[in-house]
Amino acid sequence: MRNTKKFIVIGAGVVTLLAGGGAAAYAAAAAPTSPAAPTAPKITAERAIELAHQQVQGAWVSEVDHDDSGEWEVELVKDAQVYEVTVDAASGKVTAHGAKQADKDDDANDDANDDKGGDRDDD
């Protein structure tokens, strides 16, 4: 009779462990996977600006953006030219560099055509 009680207790313990382990495995498999947390870029914005200034010396920075592809996009302005410099956020390598003419209808040039908020009637 003693051995029977031991087998029942041991059997119940084994069943409990298996059921608990199975439930834990099911919960882990059924849990939704969370997207990986974004990692901070190795190259800081300040360093990306320094690298962009090496490409376009004497320019001022008008915009800095870190995009989803892991690159810094630095926009610089010098002598009515807008330069776009792309810097890899992991390595610091300049991956793109280009210039375009600044818009004539830019906010800096709007003063001559600004009607100071009033309605303008050209009739």
d(CA 59, CA 106): 17
Confidence of residue 36 (pLDDT cuts 50, 70, 90): low
101 and 70, same structural domain? yes
Question: Is 56 found in the same domain as 99?
Answer: yes
Between strands 94-101 and 71-78, the pairing is unpaired
pLDDT reading at 50 higher than 90: yes
Q: Exposed, middle or buried: residue 53 (CB in 10 Å: 0-12, 13-18, 19+)?
A: middle
pLDDT in tens, 68-123: 889 999 999 999 899 999 999 999 999 988 887 666 444 544 444 445 555 555 55
Q: Which residue has the higher pLDDT, 1 or 78?
A: 78
d(CA 113, CA 107) in angstroms, rounded, equals 10
Domain limits at 62?
45-110
Output the average pLDDT for the chain: 74
Residue 120 forms part of a structural domain: no
Pair 56, 85 in one domain: yes
Please tell me the distance from the alpha carbon of residue 99 to that of residue 77, in angstroms, as a whole number: 9
Q: What pTM value is reported for the model?
A: 0.52
